[in-house]
């Protein structure tokens, strides 16, 4: 596996491959890699000649400086894991390499950035759009792979790519879960084993919501979910929304022609977890 820290050197290397007709698959990450990330690498290997992963903890998407400081950084383990699973190229840039000058771009994200996560993390999705566009400009991939665990983020990246006319095919990949049902996340590293066991209740409550959707309207399903979570003192509930899978707008009734997704954010002490599940149909 080749490792590049400079955008110009990476670009030069990939240009040679493109000149020989090789396609590029790209998996952007913030490191602290786990099996969920590797599933993206495997998907990229299936559909591309060259697989590039990036590890970059992007400061512009953290509205909480303490969260940025605490975000796990495990670059040596990440390198070993990527090499073991057949990643061809790792891009590991500095902040200065990604942002040589201050970037004040404000993206029009069609209002998708004002819902759910956007209410609690102002500016977060503008920072995501900023770094993803910059990485796409550097790597120039044919295909880019993102986990569906970050459901709202995936919708916003797709919107941004279309609005900015970027020639990249954005591919969403299913959420991987621990045996308990807990969605795999780099932030899980900050949970104790006891907290991980407790956190599995989030997925269990979402499965119950999916079952309740067969008999009750969205608002009632939301109430049941909140009641099932709120009794646990280890949780600090932030939101549970049942939204249209495309517009991300809250649903007041079920529509057999539209997919409804339940999206949740919950704190376990000082660790914030998000997850989602198809609720209906």
Annotated catalytic sites, by residue? 37
Apex 169 CA angle, 165 and 170, nearest 5: 100
Cα distance between residue 17 and residue 44, in whole Å: 16
User: What single string gives the DSSP state of each residue in the chain?
Assistant: -EEE-SHHHHHHHHHHHHHTT--EEEEEE-S---HHHHHHHHHHHHH-SEEEEEE---GGG-S-HHHHHHS---HHHHHHHHHHTT--EEE---HHHH-SS--------TTGGGSTHHHHSTTHHHHHHHHHHHHHHHH--SEEEEETTSHHHHHHHHHHHHHTT---EEEEEPPPB-TTSPBP-GGGGGS-HHHHHHHHHHHHHHHHHHHHTTTS-HHHHHHHHHHHHHT-TTEEEEEEEEEETTT-PBPSS--TTS-EEEEEEEEETTEEEEEEEEEE-
Cα distance between residue 138 and residue 158, in whole Å: 18
């Amino acid at each position: 596996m080749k490792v590049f820290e400079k955008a110009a050197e990476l670009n030069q290397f990939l240009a040679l491959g493109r000149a020989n007709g090789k396609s590029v698959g790209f998996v952007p990450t913030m490191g602290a890699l786990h099996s969920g990330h590797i599933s993206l690498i495997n998907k990229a290997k299936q559909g591309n000649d060259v697989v590039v992963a990036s590890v970059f903890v992007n400061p512009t998407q953290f509205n909480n400086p303490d969260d940025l400081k605490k975000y796990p950084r495990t670059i040596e383990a990440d390198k070993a894991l990527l090499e073991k699973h057949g990643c061809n190229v790792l891009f590991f840039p500095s902040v200065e390499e990604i942002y040589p000058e201050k970037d004040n771009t404000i993206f029009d994200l069609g209002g998708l950035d004002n819902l759910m996560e956007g209410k609690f993390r102002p500016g977060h999705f503008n920072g995501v759009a900023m770094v993803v566009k910059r990485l796409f400009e550097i790597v120039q991939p044919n295909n880019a792979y993102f986990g569906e665990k970050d459901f709202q983020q995936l919708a916003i990246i797709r919107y941004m790519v279309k609005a900015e006319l970027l020639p990249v095919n954005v591919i969403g990949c299913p959420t991987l879960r621990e045996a308990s049902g807990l969605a795999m996340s780099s932030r899980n590293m900050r949970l104790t084993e006891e907290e991980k066991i407790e956190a599995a209740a989030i997925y269990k409550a979402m499965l119950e919501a999916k079952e309740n959707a067969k008999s009750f309207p969205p608002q009632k399903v939301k109430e049941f979910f909140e009641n099932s979570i709120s009794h646990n003192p280890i949780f600090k509930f932030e939101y549970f929304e049942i939204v249209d899978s495309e517009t991300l707008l809250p649903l007041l009734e079920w529509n057999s022609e539209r997919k409804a997704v339940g999206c949740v954010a919950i704190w376990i002490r000082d660790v914030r977890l998000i997850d989602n599940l198809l609720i209906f149909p």
